[in-house]
Amino acid sequence: MKSSMPGPFSYHWLTRKPIQVPIDKTRLILLYLSINYLIVFLDVLIAHALNRFFPYYEWIPIIFSPIAALSAILLLIKPKPGFTKAFNLVTNIAGVVIGILGFGFHLQAASAGNVVSFSGLTSGNPVFAPLAFVALGSIGVLTTLDDHPNLKTYGLTQKTRWLLLTTSFWFLATALVAYFDHARTGFTNSFTWIPVYMGIFAAIILLLQAYSHPEHGLSILLGITMILSVIVGLLGFAFHLSTDLAGRGSIQWSRIFYQAPGLVPLLFCDLGIWGVLIFLDPIKEPPL
């Protein structure tokens, strides 16, 4: 990656001429990855603070997230093979492992007597939330790996395809988080179905895109889907805040953090941005 040589990127399916983006796609992803890790750090810190970080392994994602953000920033600044690349690779592999472990711990906490039931899954512990670390870690690993712009399948580089699949997985995980969280309320408010449908739809769109040649129509479809995701996220944020503030004259921060958590719907906004970002398919990008 050479910051002095801006590479032309795709969206040439949207416009006739390639859109010049003054920063390499990889560095753009690394920047957004570091921001995501910091947001996740904040989110998990608030969530695990509810139980005073007990048991002790609730500290793991909190300690890990800033380290992962740092590794992404280091690679962003010094994008050469060597320590920063290896550090970023190892850190993000650890992130995937932490995500799987976290999913296991959450599932264990939601089960009663080794039985996972529907009511257990809706118990308030977001069982599928740790999969965000799997997604972020996967994105980080993929970004670290070399790409071969000349080797394309369905007209897309391998990196781009895998990034599409990873983001699809993350959309699906987020849809499941929304489903089980809202199931607790019995879906009495029909709006609570929106994020479930949105997450599944976006996941399918991204999945199918990974197996489709990019073209004008599909680019528009993907772009609209991601924009819809952002809108759903903003709407969800507004609805959650409205619910948390209802019925009392003061702000109860514990309700904003934990009851209808304000930050969670913004994940759809985040995923919408990810979807647009990872679909940037470099016409020409030198390896790391």
Partner 1 sequence: MHHSKLWRNLIAALIITIAAGYIFSMWSATNKVNPAAPSFAGNGGSCLTCHNQTTPGVVKQYGESKHAVNKVACIDCHRGESDGKLTVNHYDNNIVLRPTPQNCSRCHPTQATQFDHSRHSAAAWYAQTGATSFTDEQLKRYGLSATGKYNDLYHMESPEITKMGCEVCHSIGKPNADGTFGDCAKCHAGHKFSLAQVRKPEICGSCHLGPDHPMKEIYDESIHGTFYANNGAQWDWEAPAGTLSSKNFDAPTCAICHMASFGSAPGTHDVGQRLSWKLAPAQAEKRVDWETHRLNMQTVCLECHSQTSIKTLYDNADKVVLAGNENIKTAQTIIKNLKDDGLIPMAPFSSSIDYKGFEIWHHEGRRMRFGAFMNGPDYVQWHGIYEQLIDLTELKERDADLRGKAAPTAPTTTTQDTSKSTKIEGR
Question: Which CB, 2 or 52, lies closer to partner 1?
Answer: 52
Should residue 75 be labelled a site residue for partner 1 when binding is judged by CB under 8 A? Answer: no
| Listed ranges 45-53, 62-70, 80-88, 267-275: which one lies at the site for partner 1 (CB under 8 A) | 45-53
User: Does residue 248 interact with partner 1 by CB under 8 A?
Assistant: yes
Q: Is 108 an interacting residue with respect to partner 1 (CB under 8 A)? A: no
21 binds partner 1 (CB under 8 A): no
Q: Footprint of partner 1 on residues 131-170 (CB under 8 A)?
A: 155
Q: Does 200 bind partner 1 (CB under 8 A)?
A: yes
> Is residue 209 near partner 1 by the rule CB under 8 A?
yes
The token duo for 277 is: 């970002």
Please report the DSSP string for the chain in residue order: --TTSPPEES-TTTSSSPEE-SS-HHHHHHHHHHHHHHHHHHHHHHHHHTTTT-SGGGGHHHHHHHHHHHHHHHHHH--STTHHHHHHHHHHHHHHHHHHHHHHHHHHHH-BTTB--HHHHTSSS-TTTTHHHHHHHHHHHHHHS---TT-EETTEEHHHHHHHHHHHHHHHHHHHHHHHHHHTTTT-SGGGGHHHHHHHHHHHHHHHHTTS---HHHHHHHHHHHHHHHHHHHHHHHHHHHHHHTT-SS--HHIIIIIS-SSTTHHHHHHHHHHHHHT--BSS----
Least spacing, CB of residue 199 vs partner 1, in Å: 9
Q: Total binding residues for partner 1 by CB under 8 A?
A: 42
Task: Work out whether 183 is an interface residue with partner 1 (CB under 8 A).
Answer: yes
- Kindly state whether residue 247 participates in binding partner 1, applying the rule CB under 8 A: yes
Is 212 among the residues that bind partner 1 (CB under 8 A)? yes
Task: List, in sequence order, every residue forming a beta bridge with 153; answer none if it has no partner.
Answer: 156
CB burial of residue 175 (10 Å; 0-12, 13-18, 19+):
buried
Q: Which amino acid is at 125?
A: N
102, 133 contact by CB (below 8 A) = yes
62 binds partner 1 (CB under 8 A): no
Nearer CB in complex with partner 1: 83/187: 187
User: Minimum distance between the CB of residue 201 and partner 1, rounded to whole angstroms?
Assistant: 4
- Asked if residue 54 binds partner 1 (CB under 8 A), the reply is yes
Binding of partner 1 at residue 111 (CB under 8 A)?
Answer: no
Choose, by CB under 8 A, the member of 1, 173, 196, 271 that binds partner 1: 196
Q: Given the rule CB under 8 A, which of 15-23, 157-165, 194-202, 268-276 is the region that contacts partner 1?
A: 194-202
Of 64 and 179, CB closest to partner 1: 179
Residues binding partner 1 (CB under 8 A): 50-52, 54, 118-119, 123-124, 155, 179, 183-189, 193, 196-197, 200-201, 204-205, 208-209, 212-213, 215, 217-218, 221, 243, 246-248, 252, 254-255, 258-260
